[in-house]
Amino acid sequence: MEYPTFGWFHPLLFVLFLLLFASLAIAEGERDTPFIQETAERYSLGSEDANDVRGIAVDRQGNVWAATRAGIYRLSRSQNRWEAMMSAEQAGPGFCAYTDREGMVWMGAWNGLYRAEQDGIRRVQGISEPVSALCEVEDELQAFGPDGMWRIRGDTVTHQQLPSARSVRAVLADRQGGVWIGTDVGLFHHTASGSSWWNDEDYLLSASVRGLAYASDGALWIGGLGGITIHREGKRVGHFTTADGLPSVEVQCVRPAPDDRMWIGTPKGVVRTDGKSWSLRHSLRWLPSDDVRDVAFDADGTAWIATAGGVSAVRRRSITLAEKAQHYLSICMARHVREPGLVEKCLLETPGDVNTWRPRDDDNDGEYTGMYLAMESFRFAATKDPSAQANARRAFGASRFLQTVTGTSGFVARTVIPSDWKPLNDPNRTYTDAEWADERVADPRHKRVHERWRLSADGKWLWKGDTSSDEITGHFYGYLHFYDLAADEADKQAVREHVRRVMDYIIDCGYVLKDIDGAHTRWAVWSPEKLNGDPDWAPERGINSVEILSFLKATYHITGEEKYQREYRNLLDEHGYRENVKRAKTFNSAWRTHIDDELLALAFPALLLYETDPDLKRLYRQALDTWYEGVRRDQNPWFHYLYASLTGTAPERHDSLMFLRDAPLDLVRWTVDNTRREDLKLVRYPEIDRWQTDRLPPPSERGVMRWDDNPWTAVQGDGGHTESDGVFWLLPYWMGRYYGYIESPDK
């Protein structure tokens, strides 16, 4: 076919240009530009009453002042500790705090108005009644309470009757010499010429007004029961409710931030918005209590948040992904690598206090050490940092030790601990016949294991049996990437010997992992007889078939021995594993789990990287595509980068970068309860077994998790009793660096 040409333009050249542009778009990585990372520091003021904070303000020296149920408190910038500023005779509830244009702080209390001084507080003469709200109108301070309003100019105090209802909750100068007054029965506007009162639905979402602020565009934001009403030039022009992003129908304060966003305090956290995008800070990761009463900002942009349980400082810092990776790695190395080199979360004796950490055994130590091994292998391949290779080598040694410590020809332990380590996370248990009958009815596949822990031959270690398929899958993922990316020739020889030993044991046992009692473990079953012939194994048929094929393909790649390729083809061609692979990812709501999603992510690489048969590559690609369709909405950069690396397509950039940047620096696994939020709906999808949210909040609004957890789960975390090792973040980051999806900061 002959193509017409138009001057310099030729259609074939244009197509080639588009293909070149597309290839460059795939190859070009994300620049590691600095971004804003928030952290939080929570403060206790010392007692339950003192922690009941109603108002907060920052003076020009940077000292923070809090009006509490126990009185007025100050956090000295120089000493960084809270101290009570009222004498025992004065002590009583404080209600509000306000910083004037000169940077001086004023506080309303049960017995009048106080002004902050350098060495304490001074009570303003002439006011002995409660003061619940403050504002500055032109050149005077105005104080409000149930007994009237006071106008303060210098040392002159003038009292007058309230121009509003007595339940004054918020006041704001109107910028024209008047004042807005929010009350329980509506909004009042007081000027020199008189007062107006609005309480109907045409003007307000509700008559309860508790927060007032001007936005940077001049609009008046009116917060209260029902949400935020927006006014401009005296008319209602819009509103924000839980349908827009408010976590609660109750608004308790509204404060403009230096970056022009509005911070809105609610009983369910503090939400920030520019009117379009919304972000929430809640849970103990961010706040001592979700009941937020007031917010103030210091000169550095730090938000000081008054809550029913104390004060929180939400700070901002500029950081790069490379710096964040170093932060997580330092945490991992400090508290999460335990002898003989296993990597997992640690226990915190005092919730949230990382200074009280101690190591903790976990059933999945082997799997997650394998993922750490892969992570450090990617880091070494991307940077050639010798510490990454050393860490990877130690992790491989720990994985190998899980096999050799058992004293068997190839059985692999779940985990191992020093023999004198107490307490165990999951101690031995003896079932009575009655208890065992109960277990068997609940799960006929359950295995009666009295002795989970066994002593090593040298008496130095306790190792745990009943190892699951999860551990073996994680092990092989780590072996493969260590062998390809970080191992020297001596390491490779060690990997070959070890992988051959484990794989031969599984084959010789009939494609199960046989424990030392002579029976297969509860979960480690890959045999055709079980997967294809036993209906109780139907849920695992697809995924376990992919796992064993992955093990065999990885072993063939590492050792080069044809016996593993023959076993691999035998399962595919003679035992129907081709058909099983097509159903690797199940969407059956009774069977679907994110554990399986993670295991498939661990198993797919060996098949798609090293299979050369076009038909099999097509089969695996179809299975991978089906899996990815099920997980692509999970905001998981590891899944995104994994899929891109195995298909040669461009990675999902927005979600990946958003997750890597928004994930909190704090790896404590605080409980985050999103069931209380009114901007989310509870659903039974994608997995039917527990409540989930209808949309996925960003990672800073969810619990710290691993990728075998369901990110949609409405309640996440363990109350701050453990800390994550950070591998959930580090693995996709270094994978992204290795494949060029994220640029080096030096580039």
Tokens 């931030």 found at:
257
Question: Which amino acid type is present at position 581?
Answer: V
Q: Are residues 153 and 185 in the same domain?
A: yes
Distance CA 724, CA 336 (A): 8
Q: What is the pLDDT of residues 547-568, one digit of tens each?
A: 999 999 999 999 999 999 999 9
pLDDT of residue 78: 83
Q: What is the pLDDT of residues 440-483, one digit of tens each?
A: 898 888 888 878 899 999 999 999 999 999 999 999 999 999 99
Distance CA 308, CA 4 (A): 75
Q: What is the CATH number of the domain that holds 262?
A: 2.130.10.10
Distance CA 67, CA 91 (A): 11
Asked whether residue 140 is assigned to any structural domain, the reply reads: yes
Q: Are residues 259 and 332 in the same domain?
A: no
Whether the bond into 423 is cis, omega within 30 of 0: yes
Asked whether residue 416 is assigned to any structural domain, the reply reads: no
Q: Under a CB-based contact definition with an 8 Å cutoff, are residues 634 and 698 in contact?
A: no
Distances (CA, A) of 83 to 44, 129, 225, 240: 11, 24, 34, 38
Instruction: Tell whether the model's pLDDT for residue 510 goes beyond 50.
Output: yes
Asked whether residue 454 is assigned to any structural domain, the reply reads: no
pLDDT of residue 493: 98
Distance CA 98, CA 67 (A): 10
Instruction: Tell whether the model's pLDDT for residue 8 goes beyond 70.
Output: no
- DSSP conformation letters of 401-435: HHHHTTTSSS---S-EEETT--S-SS------HHH
pTM score: 0.94
Q: Are residues 86 and 179 in the same domain?
A: yes
Q: What is the pLDDT of residues 380-425, one digit of tens each?
A: 999 999 999 999 999 999 999 999 999 999 999 999 999 998 877 7
Instruction: Tell whether the model's pLDDT for residue 25 goes beyond 50.
Output: no
Q: Are residues 272 and 329 in the same domain?
A: no
DSSP 8-state assignment for residue 203: T
Asked whether residue 448 is assigned to any structural domain, the reply reads: no
Instruction: Tell whether the model's pLDDT for residue 27 goes beyond 70.
Output: no
Assign 80 a pLDDT band (cuts: 50, 70, 90).
confident
- For 219, the 3-state DSSP assignment is coil
Give residue 722's domain range. Answer: 321-360+645-747
Assign 673 a pLDDT band (cuts: 50, 70, 90).
very high
In this prediction, residues 320-345 reach a mean pLDDT of 98
Assign 118 a pLDDT band (cuts: 50, 70, 90).
confident
pLDDT of residue 9: 42
Q: What percent of the chain has pLDDT over 90?
A: 88
Q: What percent of the chain has pLDDT over 70?
A: 96
Instruction: Tell whether the model's pLDDT for residue 96 goes beyond 90.
Output: yes
Among residues 260, 288, 319, which one ends one of the domains? 319
Closest CA to 283 of 608, 716, 730: 716
Assign 313 a pLDDT band (cuts: 50, 70, 90).
very high
Distance CA 310, CA 312 (A): 7
Whether the bond into 686 is cis, omega within 30 of 0: yes
Instruction: Tell whether the model's pLDDT for residue 121 goes beyond 90.
Output: yes
DSSP 8-state assignment for residue 2: P
Distance CA 741, CA 747 (A): 13
In this prediction, residues 703-730 reach a mean pLDDT of 97
Q: Are residues 266 and 326 in the same domain?
A: no
Domain tally, the chain: 2
Assign 486 a pLDDT band (cuts: 50, 70, 90).
very high
Helix axes 541-559, 594-610, angle to 10 degrees: 40
Q: Under a CB-based contact definition with an 8 Å cutoff, are residues 702 and 711 in contact?
A: yes
Closest CA to 468 of 598, 590, 627: 598
pLDDT of residue 7: 45
Q: Are residues 172 and 218 in the same domain?
A: yes
Contacts of 189 (CB under 8 A, 6+ apart): 174, 178, 179, 180, 181, 195, 196, 197, 198
Among residues 293, 319, 345, which one ends one of the domains? 319
Instruction: Tell whether the model's pLDDT for residue 546 goes beyond 60.
Output: yes
Asked whether residue 46 is assigned to any structural domain, the reply reads: yes
Closest CA to 170 of 218, 207, 134: 134
In this prediction, residues 354-362 reach a mean pLDDT of 96
pLDDT of residue 346: 97
pLDDT averaged over every residue in the chain? 94
Q: Are residues 184 and 218 in the same domain?
A: yes
pLDDT of residue 26: 46
In this prediction, residues 204-212 reach a mean pLDDT of 97
Helix axes 365-383, 727-739, angle to 10 degrees: 30
Q: Are residues 275 and 329 in the same domain?
A: no
3-state secondary structure 171-188: EEECCCCCEEEEECCEEE
Q: Are residues 281 and 342 in the same domain?
A: no
Q: Which two tokens stand for residue 46?
A: 């010392």
Q: Are residues 694 and 711 in the same domain?
A: yes
Distances (CA, A) of 69 to 40, 84, 308: 23, 12, 10
pLDDT of residue 306: 98
- Give burial (CB, 10 Å; 0-12/13-18/19+) of 727: buried
Instruction: Tell whether the model's pLDDT for residue 22 goes beyond 50.
Output: no
Number of alpha carbons in the 13 Å side-chain half-sphere of residue 298: 21
Assign 531 a pLDDT band (cuts: 50, 70, 90).
very high
Asked whether residue 619 is assigned to any structural domain, the reply reads: no
DSSP H or E segment with residue 81:
none
Assign 429 a pLDDT band (cuts: 50, 70, 90).
confident
Q: Are residues 345 and 298 in the same domain?
A: no
Asked whether residue 72 is assigned to any structural domain, the reply reads: yes
Q: Are residues 281 and 338 in the same domain?
A: no
Q: What is the pLDDT of residues 150-180, one digit of tens each?
A: 999 999 999 999 999 999 999 999 989 999 9
pLDDT of residue 449: 84
In this prediction, residues 656-679 reach a mean pLDDT of 98
pLDDT of residue 6: 40
- For 341, the 3-state DSSP assignment is coil
pLDDT of residue 597: 97
Closest CA to 527 of 515, 543, 502, 544: 544
Asked whether residue 649 is assigned to any structural domain, the reply reads: yes
